[in-house]
Amino acid sequence: MARYGMALDYKNCINCKACETACKEENGVLLGADNHRIWVGMKEIEGEYPNLSIASNTFYPSQCQHCDEAPCQEVCPTNATYYDKDGQVRIDADKCILCSYCINACPYDARYVDDRTNTVDKCTFCTDTRLARGETTTACQNTCPTKVRIFGDLDDPNSEISQVLQNREHFTLKSNLGTKPKLFYLI
């Protein structure tokens, strides 16, 4: 059993959105703004022309944080949202009643309604595809040209992600909420 997480070297992000495309392709996510599992957030350039601060223009890839203490799981009335054996937060579409409680409860805006199943969906760390085949990568990580994403087992001290987290400063988002995200932003 692994405990998968992802470290994001977000300063390397060039906003090419290859990850988004790869994710959609891999997981058959419907196109359209509301139907996405991962996204690249953008901080706009500060300052007024011509005094623009290029350095202020940063990109933040994000997605479901696979919280260890996931509010979405806690509020789900039918346990449709659950932790799988590797600690990923997942949704059993057969049990989802579309009460939308999890969409409201997730502080990370990570959930959306899949129009085909009429149930809630979100990033699964490619559990149904790659991990199920025994691979240990995700589509987004695999495709990223600047190697922003480092995916791996947090419980294995020798994994790349554990090493990186040990050696580099990082932060998690909205950590004051106590959700213990497994997405780490490297400084």
Our CB check for ligand SF4 shows the closer of 47 and 178 to be 178
Please report how close the Cβ of residue 141 comes to ligand SF4 at its closest, in angstroms: 17
Q: Whose CA is closest to 122, among 181, 38, 39?
A: 38
Q: Which of 16, 21, 83, 99 binds other proteins (CB under 8 A)?
A: 99
- Give the C-alpha distances (Å, rounded to integers) separating 98 from 9, 29, 35, 53, 89: 34, 18, 15, 44, 17
Q: Is 160 helix (H, G, I), strand (E, B) or coil?
A: helix
- Binding of other proteins by 107 (CB under 8 A): yes
Sequence letter at residue 118: N
Instruction: Select from ligand SF4, other proteins, none the partner in contact with residue 38, using the beta carbon and a kind-dependent cut-off of 5 to 8 Å.
Output: none
66: partner contacted, choices other proteins, ligand SF4, none (Cβ within 5-8 A by kind): ligand SF4
Q: Which residues contact 68 (CB under 8 A, 6 or more apart)?
A: 87, 179, 180, 181, 182
- What residues numbered 4-43 form the site for ligand SF4, per CB under 6 A? none
Which residues are near ligand SF4 by CB under 6 A? 64-67, 70-72, 75-78, 80-81, 89, 91, 96-102, 106, 108, 110-111, 120, 122, 179
